[in-house]
Structure formats: structure tokens, C-alpha cells
């Protein structure tokens, strides 16, 4: 069943509205579906970062595509000059 768009905060006996507050150190733990989901997702966040030891250095990974692109553009311009 869908919830109403607006929900009213409970009121105390004096008629003043009770405002929500952040939990303090003296408050006890409250289990909720959000807490359970957070505990399940923490498993993925706690994995140690993996080293990228099997990859080539960054300057090689950048240079090879740039050289290949330059070579291909050179071949295209050479073919265009041959056609003219």
C-alpha cells in the first residue's frame, strides 16, 4: 500500500511538535533494513586495493595508441594525396 505524500510528526502533551534529532552516544542501536543492507555492503568496501602489477607503465600505454593513430592518419593523408 503506498504511503501518503505527507506524514505528520507526533505531538507531545503540551501541543508542541516533536522534532527529529540525531542519535547521540547514549542512544542504543536500532536494527533496521537500512542497517542490515549497510552491513551487507560493507563486505565489498573492506576489500584491500589490488595492485596493478601486471600492466605496462603509463607512458607506454599512452605512447602506443598515439603513435598508431599518427601512423594511420599519415596513411590516410598519403592515400588522399595519391588519389588526387
**pLDDT the model gives residue 46:** 63
> pLDDT digit string (tens) for 1-45?
565 665 665 566 666 666 667 777 787 777 788 888 888 887 776
CA 40 to chain centre: 17
- Confidence at residue 73, expressed as pLDDT on a 0 to 100 scale: 97
Q: How many CA atoms lie within 13 A of 6 on its CB side?
A: 1
Cα 14 from Cα 21, distance rounded (Å): 19
Q: Which residues contact 12 (CB under 8 A, 6 or more apart)?
A: 18
Q: Which residue has the higher pLDDT, 73 or 5?
A: 73
Q: What CA–CA distance (Å, rounded) separates 33 from 40?
A: 11
Amino acid at each position: 500500500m503506498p504511503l501518503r505524500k505527507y506524514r505528520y510528526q507526533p505531538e507531545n502533551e503540551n501541543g508542541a511538535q516533536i522534532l527529529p534529532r540525531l542519535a547521540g552516544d547514549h542512544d542504543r542501536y536500532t536494527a533496521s533494513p537500512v542497517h542490515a543492507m549497510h552491513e551487507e555492503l560493507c563486505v565489498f568496501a573492506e576489500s584491500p586495493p589490488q595492485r596493478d602489477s601486471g600492466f605496462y607503465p603509463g607512458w607506454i600505454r599512452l605512447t602506443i595508441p598515439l603513435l598508431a593513430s599518427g601512423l594511420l592518419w599519415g596513411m590516410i593523408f598519403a592515400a588522399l594525396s595519391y588519389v588526387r
